[in-house]
A and B are shown apart, each in its own frame.
Chain A
Amino acid sequence: MNSPSRYPTRYHRYTRRETYAHWGWTILCVAIVVWAMQAMEVQWHFLADAHVQAMDLADRLWPPRWDYAPQILGPLIETVHIGTLGTMISFVLAVPVAFLAASNTTYNRISWAIGRVILVLSRSINTVIWGLLFVAIFGPGPVAGICAVAARSVGFIAKLIAEAIEEVDPGQIEAIEATGANRYQVWATAIWPQIQPALIGTTVYRWDINIRESSVLGFVGAGGIGLYLYSSINSFAWNQVLLILCAILVLVIASEFISAWVREKVT
């Protein structure tokens, strides 16, 4: 009558197999971390005097050199221009790439693959590395910075727009197709209005990232405030460094607010 072996008397949240799987994953993760730690050959003695260095640095940073402010105003504006123009160019380039890379608007497998390759290449190379490349091409200056920002943002914007295109409501496309519209009319009247909020939101979001990115492009010679920051650091003018960092902080937080405000209005 009573068969105690059929039903467990204790409640287990996971089956035995799930438990083993969890432990397996945990051990694997720990092993990877241990491997990484071992192979790093970290110079631990650098940690020993870090607090002395930190105090020394803090002492040198304070107070910020306010009379340097007029000199960095120009480069600060240049930083904004690099971010904004780069975003504009990348938006123009990203829309066709997005239509290629979205599986429902692309022409065939080959055009889809081309779109995807552009996405991956653009996104996997960091803005700073793009900056290195364009400084080699155009020489140092804001043009290289604008190109670097544009090259990186194309992949980002196009990827998010392509996702938005793949999620559009097919009903409207069918309706427009039923009127005998060609491919481009379908894109313009059935798809474009549907992805417009995503389009604006993504671009503004990327713009705010790009302002942040363009603050360091000067390190590789691609214009903006980074150039002044780099030379201040190299000449140990730490008071100027603090002032520039404060300026960047204000700029980035302001751009983040603007972008959040616009995205809230759009969506």
Chain B
Amino acid sequence: MNRSDAPAQAQSWRPPTIFGSYRIRRLFYWGVVLYVIATVLTLNVDGRRVMAGFSRAGDIFARMLPPDFSRWSLIWNGMMESIQIAIISTVVGIVLAIPVGLAAARNLAPKPVYLAARGFIVVGRTFHEILIAIFFVKLFGFGPLAGVLTLAFGSTTFLAKTLAEDIENMKMGPIEALRATGASFGQIVSFGVMPQVLVKQIGIYIYRLDSNLRHSTIIGIVGAGGIGTTLSASFTKYDYDFASAILLCIAALVAMGEILSDWIRRRLR
């Protein structure tokens, strides 16, 4: 009889929210708004300069058009160097990633080796390519060698991580069967692990080649070779029509790389 104590019927059904309750959701959105206001105030954004920027943007884009391809040999050489850096660094990365990846797989490596390899991967993946490039430029001087080593380092950590994950997800049956026959570690890897992870790994190698192609266009900014050197020089010299020509070439190169890698990966499957 005590109907009045029952909670009132909800007015209308509302979908569940991922925040758990609507109050938390409202608080979250208010937090976002407050955050944006606070950051815009603390970043000391100069309103006048931003406004001036919009008119300057028009000016810069006007000077970018039409793109100036007259120095195409400079662009061509830079592009070729970028492509070569990408290819070599991917190959070096693949070679180095195999031992690191095997060491970072929990189901194959002993615990201390596993932890060391994982630590290496985490720390290596933290730093942006450009930071690593600075160190290699210091160690090996300006030029494409520093670029190759930078991207090889980045590829090693990335590929080792994916390889380790693939190995951890593979079926253990074949490995146990091999172990039962008294196979050595090398035999286990070549007959038990490799057939299971190879196809997926080749797909990832192609993906990495594609992303190295992207990265190889920027490491030149700190002197590690490739088209980035030319691009950053043209920006600092206010040579915008040449810069836009380079940007178009980079976009074309990256788009081509993406199409090619998509095509190969689709064929692999």
**B235 and A132 within 8 A (CB):** yes
Given A120-B251, A212-B128: A33 and B140 interface contact (C-beta under 8 Å): no
Q: Which of B39, B83, B130, B138 is the one whose CB lies under 8 Å from A53?
A: B138
Instruction: Check if B128 sits within 8 Å of A215, measured CB to CB.
Output: yes
Per-residue interface assignment for chain A, residues 91 to 121, with 1 indicating a CB less than 8 Å from any chain B CB and 0 otherwise = 0000000000000000000000000000011
Q: For residue A29, which residue of chain B has the nearest CB?
A: B91
Q: Is the CB of A33 within 8 A of B57?
A: no
Among B15, B39, B135, B148, contact of A81 (Cβ-Cβ < 8 Å): B39
Verify B251–A57 contact, CB threshold 8 A: no
Interface residues in A174-219 by Cβ distance below 8 A to B read 193, 196-197, 200, 212-213, 215-216, 219
B81 touches A216 (CB 8 A): no
Do A120 and B127 contact each other (CB < 8 Å), given the known contacts A33-B87, A42-B144, A57-B138? no
Chain A residues closer than 8 Å to B140, beta-carbon distance: 46-47, 50, 53
Do residues A129 and B39 form an inter-chain contact, with CB atoms below 8 A?
no
Residues of B within 8 A of A123 (CB): 254
CA distance A116 to B215 in the complex (A): 22
Contact B138 A40 (CB under 8 A): no
B222 touches A39 (CB 8 A): no
Once the chains are docked, how many angstroms separate the CA of A141 from the CA of B47?
12
User: Given A50-B139, A128-B218, A215-B128, are A85 and B87 neighbors across the interface (CB < 8 Å)?
Assistant: no
Pair B139/A40 contact, Cβ less than 8 Å: no
- Chain B CB within 8 A of A37 CB: yes
- A139 contacts the other chain (Cβ, under 8 Å)? yes
In whole Å, how far is A192's beta carbon from the nearest beta carbon of chain B?
11
- Comparing B48-56, B108-116, B169-177, B179-187, the segment that makes contact with chain A is B48-56
Interface-lining segment among A2-10, A64-72, A160-168, A245-253: A245-253
Q: Does B122 contact A (CB under 8 A)?
A: yes
Q: Which residue of chain A is the closest to B135 with respect to CB atoms? A: A57
Whether B139 and A78, one on each chain, are in contact in the complex, defined by CB atoms closer than 8 angstroms, is no
- Check: B27 CB closer than 8 A to any chain A CB: no
Contact of B84 with A by CB under 8 A? yes
Contacts of A233 in B (CB 8 A): 134
Residue in contact with B126 in the complex, picked from A84, A200, A216, A248, CB distance below 8 Å: A248
Kindly supply a per-residue 1/0 record for chain B positions 193-221, scoring 1 wherever the CB is within 8 Å of any chain A CB and 0 otherwise.
00000000000000000000011011001
Verify B251–A121 contact, CB threshold 8 A.
yes
Is A137 within 8 A of B130, CB to CB? no
The answer on a CB contact under 8 Å between B250 and A249 is: no
Q: Does A245 contact B45, Cβ atoms closer than 8 Å?
A: no
A219 touches B18 (CB 8 A): no
- 6 closest A-B pairs by CB: A124-B254, A138-B53, A36-B84, A36-B87, A124-B251, A216-B128
17 additional A-B residue pairs with CB within 8 Å, beyond A40-B85, A216-B131: A36-B88, A40-B81, A40-B145, A53-B138, A81-B39, A81-B43, A88-B36, A120-B251, A120-B258, A124-B214, A128-B130, A138-B50, A138-B53, A212-B126, A248-B127, A252-B127, A253-B122
* A-B contact list, 8 entries, CB within 8 Å: A36-B84, A46-B141, A46-B143, A53-B139, A81-B43, A133-B60, A143-B50, A216-B128
